[in-house]
C-alpha cells in the first residue's frame, strides 16, 4: 500500500495574524483542514476593500495605521535624525578643520564670556543654512549609511567615512533594495572590510554588485527589482539628504509597459524632502517611491465579527480596535507637524528661494547686532544708572 503523506504543519498564530493584517487574500490558502479551521475561527467573510464603509473597522484599518506610522517614522529619521547625527560626527571627527576649529573656539569663548558670545548665536543659524544650501558641501556633511544613495557616489561616501560598520549597513540597504536578502550577516561584515581602503573604494559600484550576486550568502530574487519603462534597474537616491541636482519631479508610474501620471502628485520640480527618489541613469528619468513600487492593490478585506471569536481572540481584536481608534488623532497631528517641518526645510534649502535665504541672513545679522547693542548697553554706565 502506498504510504500516507504526512499532513503539513498547522500555521502558527503569528503567521495567521500577519496574513490577516497584510495579505488577507492568502489567509485561506494556509489553512489545511476545514475541521481545524472551524474549531479555531469563524468562517471569514471577504469583500472588496473599496466597498468597505468608512465607519466600519476592519483589519485594513490596522494595516493602514501601521503603514502610516512606518512612513512618518522613516521620514523623521531620514530627514532630521540621521542628518543631525551626520553633522555631529562630521564636527567631532574633524573632517573639516576650519569648521571644527571655529566651533571649538566659539564654545571656549562662550565659557569665558557667556553673555557676550551668546549674541552671536543667530549668526550660527545663518552659517549652517549657508552650508546646507551648498549642494556639494551638504552631500559631504550629511553623508550617512542610512541616507546615502545606492550608487557609485554613495559607495564613495561610505568609503570616505573609513568605517566598516557603517559600510555594512549601507551594503545591507543595497542588497535589500535590489530585491535580495543577506542570509549570513557575519559574512557581510567580513566582506565590508574588503570594499574600502584609505578612504577610497576598492572596486566600482558595478563591480561591487556583480561580486555580491556571486556570494553564496546572498539570496537573490526575494522581491522584484525596481525598473524603469525600458527595463533598466532604478537606483535609489534617498529621500533628500543627498541631492543629485537642484530639484526633480516624478515622471510617472510604469504600468503594463506604459507611463501613467504620478500617483503621489509630484509633478512640479522641487527637492521633495521625505519622498524616495529612484533614478534611471540611462533614461535620465525619476520616479517617486509610490510610482516605483506600483499602485497599491485594493485586494480584499476580511470582516471580523469579534463576538464569534474565542475569548482571547475577541479581547485582542477589541484591544487593537481601541488602540487604533484612540491614536488616530495623535497620528494625524504628528503627520501635520512632520509635513509642515519638511515643507519649511524644503523652502529654506531650495536653490530657487534665494530671497528667502537672504532674508534669513539679514534677520540673523540684525538680531546679532541688536543683542550686542543690548549687552553693551547693560554693561555701560547708562545701563548701571538704569538698573
Kindly state the cell numbers that stand for 285.
Answer: 528619468
**3-class DSSP assignment, residue 21:** helix
pLDDT of residue 376: 83
- Of 25-29, 38-42, 282-286, 331-335, least confident by mean pLDDT is 38-42
pLDDT of residue 42: 52
Predicted confidence band of residue 24 (pLDDT cuts 50, 70, 90): low
pLDDT of residue 137: 95
Provide the mean pLDDT of the chain.
82
Between residues 381 and 138, the one the model is more confident about: 138
CB atoms < 10 A from the CB of 227, how many? 15
Distance CA 281, CA 286 (A): 9
Between residues 218 and 324, the one the model is more confident about: 218
pLDDT of residue 377: 81
Query: Residue 244 gets which letter from DSSP?
Result: S
Kindly state the cell numbers that stand for 100.
Answer: 571644527
- Of 16-20, 260-264, 348-352, least confident by mean pLDDT is 16-20
Cβ(283)–Cβ(228) below 8 Å: yes
Q: Show the DSSP H helices in 41-184 as ranges.
A: 59-76, 82-92, 97-112, 114-117, 121-133, 135-141, 152-161, 164-177
pLDDT of residue 7: 55
- Of 17-31, 77-91, 162-176, 238-252, least confident by mean pLDDT is 17-31
pLDDT tens-place string over residues 41-75: 555 555 554 544 555 556 677 778 888 888 888 88
Predicted confidence band of residue 386 (pLDDT cuts 50, 70, 90): low
* Mean pLDDT across 7-20: 63
Percent of the chain with pLDDT over 90: 50
pLDDT tens-place string over residues 150-169: 999 999 999 999 999 999 99
pLDDT tens-place string over residues 359-372: 999 999 999 999 99
Phi, psi of 29 (to 5 degrees): -70, -20
Distance CA 148, CA 242 (A): 6
Distance CA 280, CA 230 (A): 10
Predicted confidence band of residue 307 (pLDDT cuts 50, 70, 90): low
Strand-pair category, 253-255 with 285-288: unpaired
Task: Output b/e per residue, 310-335; b: 16+ Cβ within 10 A.
Answer: eeebeeebeebbeebeeeeeeeeebe
DSSP letter string, 275-343? S-EEEETTTTEEEEHHHHH-PPP--EEEE--GGGS-HHHHHHHHHHHHHHHHHHHHHHHHHHHHHHHHH
Distance CA 102, CA 100 (A): 5
Percent of the chain with pLDDT over 70: 75
Amino acid at each position: 500500500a502506498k504510504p500516507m503523506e504526512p499532513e503539513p504543519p498547522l500555521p502558527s498564530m503569528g503567521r495567521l495574524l500577519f496574513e490577516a493584517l497584510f495579505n488577507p487574500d492568502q489567509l485561506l490558502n494556509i489553512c489545511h483542514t476545514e475541521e481545524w479551521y472551524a474549531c479555531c475561527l469563524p468562517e471569514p467573510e471577504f469583500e472588496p476593500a473599496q466597498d468597505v464603509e468608512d465607519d466600519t473597522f476592519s483589519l485594513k484599518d490596522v494595516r493602514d495605521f501601521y503603514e502610516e506610522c512606518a512612513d512618518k517614522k522613516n521620514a523623521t529619521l531620514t530627514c532630521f535624525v540621521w542628518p543631525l547625527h551626520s553633522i555631529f560626527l562630521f564636527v567631532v571627527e574633524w573632517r573639516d578643520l576650519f569648521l571644527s576649529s571655529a566651533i571649538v573656539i566659539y564654545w571656549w569663548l562662550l565659557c569665558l564670556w557667556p553673555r557676550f558670545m551668546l549674541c552671536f548665536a543667530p549668526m550660527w543659524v545663518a552659517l549652517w543654512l549657508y552650508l546646507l544650501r551648498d549642494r556639494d558641501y551638504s552631500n559631504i556633511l550629511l553623508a550617512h549609511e542610512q541616507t546615502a544613495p545606492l550608487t557609485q557616489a554613495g559607495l564613495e561616501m561610505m568609503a570616505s567615512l573609513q568605517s566598516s560598520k557603517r559600510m555594512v549597513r549601507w551594503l545591507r540597504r543595497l542588497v535589500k533594495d535590489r530585491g535580495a536578502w543577506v542570509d549570513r550577516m557575519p559574512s557581510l561584515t567580513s566582506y565590508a572590510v574588503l570594499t574600502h581602503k584609505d578612504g577610497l573604494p576598492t572596486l566600482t559600484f558595478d563591480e561591487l554588485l556583480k561580486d555580491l550576486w556571486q556570494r553564496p550568502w546572498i539570496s537573490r530574487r526575494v522581491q522584484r527589482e525596481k525598473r524603469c519603462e525600458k527595463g533598466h534597474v532604478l537606483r535609489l537616491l534617498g529621500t533628500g539628504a543627498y541631492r543629485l541636482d537642484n530639484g526633480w519631479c516624478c515622471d510617472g508610474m510604469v504600468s503594463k509597459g506604459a507611463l501613467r501620471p504620478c500617483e503621489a502628485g509630484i509633478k512640479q520640480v522641487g527637492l521633495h524632502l521625505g519622498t524616495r527618489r529612484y533614478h534611471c541613469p540611462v533614461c535620465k528619468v525619476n520616479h517617486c517611491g509610490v510610482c516605483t513600487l506600483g499602485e497599491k492593490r485594493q485586494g480584499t478585506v476580511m470582516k471580523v465579527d469579534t463576538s464569534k471569536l474565542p475569548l482571547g481572540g475577541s479581547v485582542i481584536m477589541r484591544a487593537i480596535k481601541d488602540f487604533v481608534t484612540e491614536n488616530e488623532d495623535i497620528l494625524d497631528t504628528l503627520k501635520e507637524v512632520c509635513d509642515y517641518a519638511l515643507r519649511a526645510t524644503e523652502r529654506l534649502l531650495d536653490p530657487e528661494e534665494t530671497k528667502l535665504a537672504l532674508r534669513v541672513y539679514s534677520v540673523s545679522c540684525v538680531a546679532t547686532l541688536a543683542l550686542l547693542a543690548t549687552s553693551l548697553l547693560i554693561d555701560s554706565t547708562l545701563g548701571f544708572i538704569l538698573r
